[in-house]
Chains A and B, each alone.
Chain A
Amino acid sequence: MSEVKRLFKELYIEVLKISFLHAFADSIIFFMIALNATTLLDLTYLIALVASLLFLLADVLFRMKRTTLQEIEAKNPQIRDILRTARDHVEGSNFMVLAMFEELIQKMKSVSAGSILKQKDLFLKMVVVCALSFSVVMLSANNIHVPKSVFDPDTYYQWFSNPGNERLDFYTIEFNESDEMLYGDADMANLGNRTIELHINPSINEMSFAQVKEPEEKEFERGTFPSEIAAVADATSEEKLPKESKIAIAYNLKLKEI
């Protein structure tokens, strides 16, 4: 009798494990779908992660509640009658009931976890996960996302209020005073027809190894700092700039005044 009780307990645990496996597969699919959505909407991946964890919890609880002996019987009709009878007589101890328990234990050996596991469903879920993973990778690699202006009612308002516009262009940029911070002065876009030639003289940075000699021994006195190794303030970046660069800078400043 205790053998049969242990058998029922093991069977129930086995079915729970399989339920958890399916719930985990479902939550991975949910996570991949959510990740696709967050990638498209340019949102953080944490939203998808949290949502899928909540989904996993809910799915596990739902499957645990649904898991009953009927599910095992449905998957193994050849042992349905004996399972039900054993469940109803689990406390019995007469000759025939003991014989039934022995027969049940023998028959349960032929029932493996594989017969309860929906292998086809699990395989399909894995295929879906692979497809969704590929989708996420492609979206991320190509930086494909839904522009925020899709969710901006102003975009649609502008479209409706400008009857000349033939299409709704989510990528049109308008230069106005409020856009100065983002795009800079509008006139900066018009550089003019002048051609600026910039030559960077690399001679400033040339090093001559011909004049390298052995360092002289010097005596250092406390409080003084030898001039050879003293840090010398270099010329400011402005003093070192070539003449042509100075012209370009002055030109740009002038443009700004305009």
Chain B
Amino acid sequence: MPAVHLQQVQQIKTMFANLKKEIGKVIVGQDEVIDQIIVAIMCDANALLESYPGLGKTLMVKTLSQIMDLKFARIQSTPDLMPSDITGTYILEDKRGEKQFKFQQGPLFANIILADEINRATPKTQSALLEAMQEKQVTVGNNTFKLDLPFFVLATQNPIDQEGTYPLPEAQTDRFLLKILVEYPKDKEEVEIIDRYTTGAKDPGVKKLMAKDSLLNLQKYCRQVPISDDLKKKVVTLVNKTRSNKDLIEYGASPRASLGIVMAAKAHALLNGRTYVAMEDIKKMAYPVLRHRIILSFKAEREGRTADDAISTLLEKL
């Protein structure tokens, strides 16, 4: 029996390998971050990016949108940013002597949105963005406008300079599938960045490797990746442990975390050319899915432990 379906999965793996290679022309390193962003896109979900300034977040997302042939929009959040600034508003238009209101679409009407420093926007603006993320639609006045699919929001937060910010409450951060940590590049990578961007060399440019319809199909296949009952139980056990281990974690994750781990694991498996979810996918995706959904206990914080340390401890016992 010819392995037709398996061949197609292998082609998907090759395509993603080429995609990462294409991004590598512009972005140096950050392989983990790119993988996790792609996982979030394939899960048709949103991601929260926590990083210090100047680590190439905007360039990364912009490059990715070019390769995937998706419309890109950037929103720089400030305290005076209004909801209508991002959703769009009605403007008065003079057409052939007749004045009429016309809806001017805001930056939300793109496929990939980079909401920079979302913690600087007011709660009202944050809510407008979160509504768009959840419902894939925007409500302005009495009208509701559907957003173009695929729709993906990458919100960023700066871990420093927290003064005058409106940190997202846990109930809102729970809506992001992943919290991706962007680390500083290694020395070798930083040298390469200097070589690339200080010599005046031409922008290499990237090719379009994926069409919008292909991405929608991939999102459909991602949901179809099978997972064994045994692994599902392990995921539930892991999430339950976040609630029961009071020495380490004050507040544990909700069932949304269980869904998130399974979805992200499926996407990670497909990204690596696997037709099923393996334990390594669960272990890999547990960190970005859980780290923003748990609150450490005072004792753990006093010991200097991080959310990732707590997750590692729970995974060891699994």
A→B interface (CB under 8 Å): 3, 81-82, 84-89, 92, 94-100, 102-103, 105-106
Contact = CB atoms under 8 A, between A and B. Distances in A.
B28 interface: no
Name the residue among B4, B9, B228, B275 with the largest chain A CB count within 10 angstroms: B275
Contact of B224 (A81, A97, A103): A97
B1 A99 contact: no
Contact of B6 (A81, A84, A85, A103): A103
A99 B277 contact: no
B8 interface: yes
Interface in B74-132: none
B5 interface: yes
Given A95-B221, A105-B1, A105-B3, 12 more contacts: A81-B231, A81-B279, A82-B276, A85-B276, A88-B228, A96-B5, A96-B225, A96-B275, A98-B5, A102-B5, A103-B6, A103-B9
Majority secondary structure of chain A interface residues (helix, strand, loop or mixed): helix
A99 B1 CA distance: 12
B135 to A, nearest CB: 27
Nearest to B266: A96
B247 interface: no
A96 B10 CA distance: 12
Interface string B130-141: 000000000000
A87 B229 CA distance: 10
Contact of A99 (B8, B227, B279): B8
Nearest to B281: A81
A3 B1 CA distance: 9
Contacts of B270: 96
Contacts of B278: 81
Interface residues of B, number: 22
B276 A95 contact: no
Nearest to B224: A96
B3 to A, nearest CB: 4
A82 B281 CA distance: 13
Contacts of A96: 5, 9, 221, 224-226, 270, 275
A85 B8 CA distance: 20
A94 B224 contact: yes
Contacts of B8: 95, 99
A99 B230 contact: no
17 contacts: A81-B278, A82-B275, A84-B230, A84-B231, A85-B227, A85-B231, A87-B228, A88-B229, A89-B226, A96-B9, A96-B226, A99-B5, A102-B1, A102-B6, A102-B275, A103-B275, A103-B276
Contact of A85 (B3, B4, B226): B226
Nearest to A3: B1
Interface string B1-43: 1011110110000000000000000000000000000000000
Contacts of A81: 228, 231, 276-279
A106 B6 contact: yes
B281 to A, nearest CB: 9
A107 to B, nearest CB: 11
B90 to A, nearest CB: 44
A63 to B, nearest CB: 24
Contacts of A3: 1
Nearest to B6: A102
Given A81-B278, A81-B279, A82-B276, A95 B5 contact: yes
Contacts of B224: 94-97
A87 B227 CA distance: 11
A235 B227 CA distance: 104
B228 A99 contact: no
Interface string B221-249: 10011111111000000000000000000
Nearest to A82: B276
A10 to B, nearest CB: 15
